[in-house]
Amino acid sequence: MSMYQVPQRDISLILDEIVNYDTLCKLSGFEDASRDVVDAVLVEAAKFFETIVAPTNHTADGQGTQLKGGTVQTAAALDGVYDQMVESGWCCLNGDSDYGGAGLPSVVDLATQEMLQSANTALSLLPMLSRGVIHALSLYGSDEQKKTYLEKLIAGTWTGTMNLTESQAGTDLSAVQTKAKPHGDHYLIQGQKIYITWGDHELADNIIHLVLARIVGAPGGNNGISLFLVPKYLVNADGSLGARNDVAVVGVEHKLGIHASPTCTMAFGDKGGAVGYLVGPENRGLMCMFAMMNNARLAVGHQGVAVGERAYQQAVAYASDRVQGRIEGHDTNAPIIHHPDVKRMLMQMRALVEGGRALSFFAIAAEDRSRRNSDLACRKRDACWVEILTPLVKGWCTEVSMEVASLGVQVHGGMGFIEETGAAQHMRDARILPIYEGTNGIQGLDFLGRKCLRDGGEGLSSLIVAMQETVAELSNAASSLTLLVASLERAIRQCKEALDQVLSHPDDAPAIAYNCLLLYGNALCYWLLVRLAAAAQRKIDDGSTDRFYTNKIATARFFATQILPRNDGLLRSLGDGATCLESMSGVDFVRT
């Protein structure tokens, strides 16, 4: 089993060429986050996650979590690890400095999130959910709520959860039955929630649950749902912890993967009512919760990148050591990494991971600019891009993470099917990601419905224009980039054709949304890989002989010839996607 190494050079190149960090750090509020400061931070973060967290991944997965005496017992391998994360300040680097946070750009926080996600996917979910609570409270919490909770959440001494799902209310949250009864300055919450990630544990002093519930007498459906803050332990006026709230964990799920992350069934109010505080306006809980959910969707998307990176590194290490069969030019048996088909699989893993990483950083950089740029027009454009990119990052990056992890098992051969090697764990862990925070089918519907049809394709068209600008910039590029530019031009034409198809047949959108999401994900990732390849070519033109740069061009070329052609089939499927489904009714799927 290989150790994890942070891909620092890849992240650095993205910060230079995709994020344009030297410009980003000049935005209001980021003046102290210069590139030399950030480089030092990321070096220290890499040491921590490589040496302290990464070795726990496989062991913690085997140990799992248990519910004993009403308390969740987490994997022994994690004992003290989260405390070290808190002490070292790695839980939330982009936390508001007004509440004790470092106030760094979110792209810097994203880099450390990836390190944690690759090091231990299950543990990474703990601060990921806390970030979502921080985001929701920052937008909709009262001044008193911010003062009471944000500092502890940002530091990580308290953690947060998101409580949406009930047994009868999964994707359709209009069916939520958890009740909230007014009681003085607070509410009493009663109901049960399922699939609550890190819903209970003893790694932090308090757990802050954000809970969707319906105030007694509120209208039915989505318009009658409110959001409540329900702490595990009540908080006294001086900020100290008080009595245990009427919140209990009544079950821990036995899952396919992420075994070290407790997924809990939570009971609120079994002893009369859990104390909860309204967050945001009454009956606008879904609006408030979506702020948290969209934050989580971007984070889950990057988890796909991180799991893929760990699977890739392990596959490379195994292929480098495993001697099997002869190849041309070798008199004896050679490591399988020299076999063409193994090289194909490793290149496919590498190209998908690097494309996803570039897409994710591009989205978070747009989010940073949308909040800090002094140019109103740029803020508006970037905010639009973030809305469009959120379902793409979540959907595309998690979809290909399964492909990457599966290829990792394949590279190992029979040993990949054996749990002891660790390759299977990455595949198991990756499988939840396309389901989390709205399935990828829902991401497709969001991408086409809310982010394309709503504005007549204006937002998507602005991204296509940005892609065309890259083609113009590289019109006189070196011969090594000619194929890449030609492939980018083809991808742009396909994006336009897909957009025209959607706009001219909007009723077909539900049937073709998923394929359209994949098409745009492939195209945008490739566009960003071309930009990285162009930057690498400039280094080569300046005299560099570093293989890192030639490999960047090779990765983009592989994507162009082996992955991007998938869009040919996806584009064709958009024309008949709705028609072929209409011929089947629900009962037709039952075998007779």
Q: Which residues are catalytic?
A: 437
Angstrom CA distances, 259 to 128, 218, 296, 338, 532, stand at 17, 38, 20, 35, 36
Number of neighbours of residue 125 by Cβ within 10 angstroms: 25
Number of neighbours of residue 113 by Cβ within 10 angstroms: 28
State whether residue 558 is helix, strand or coil.
helix
Q: DSSP letter at 17?
A: H
Class of residue 458 by CB neighbours under 10 A (exposed 0-12, middle 13-18, buried 19+): exposed
Round to whole Å and give the CA distance between 334 and 337: 8
What one-character-per-residue DSSP string does 278-334 give? EESSTT-HHHHHHHHHHHHHHHHHHHHHHHHHHHHHHHHHHHHH-B-S--TT-SS--
First-to-last C-alpha distance (Å) of the chain:
47
Report which residue type is found at 51. T
State whether residue 464 is helix, strand or coil.
helix
Instruction: Give yes or no for a contact between 509 and 445, defined as CB atoms under 8 angstroms apart.
Output: yes
Q: Any idea which residue has 């007549």 for tokens? A: 456
Structure tokens at 174: 């209009």
Number of neighbours of residue 539 by Cβ within 10 angstroms: 16
Q: Any idea which residue has 């098409």 for tokens? A: 519
Task: Say if strands 186-197 and 247-252 run parallel, antiparallel, or are unpaired.
Answer: unpaired
Instruction: Give yes or no for a contact between 136 and 210, defined as CB atoms under 8 angstroms apart.
Output: yes
Q: Which residues contact 408 (CB under 8 A, 6 or more apart)?
A: 311, 312, 314, 315, 349, 416, 423, 426, 427
Angstrom CA distances, 436 to 113, 299, 306, 364, stand at 17, 11, 15, 19
Structure tokens at 199: 């819903």
Round to whole Å and give the CA distance between 237 and 113: 33
State whether residue 28 is helix, strand or coil.
coil
Number of neighbours of residue 32 by Cβ within 10 angstroms: 11
Q: Any idea which residue has 């690097």 for tokens? A: 354
Torsion of CA 274, 280, 281, 282, to 10 degrees: -20
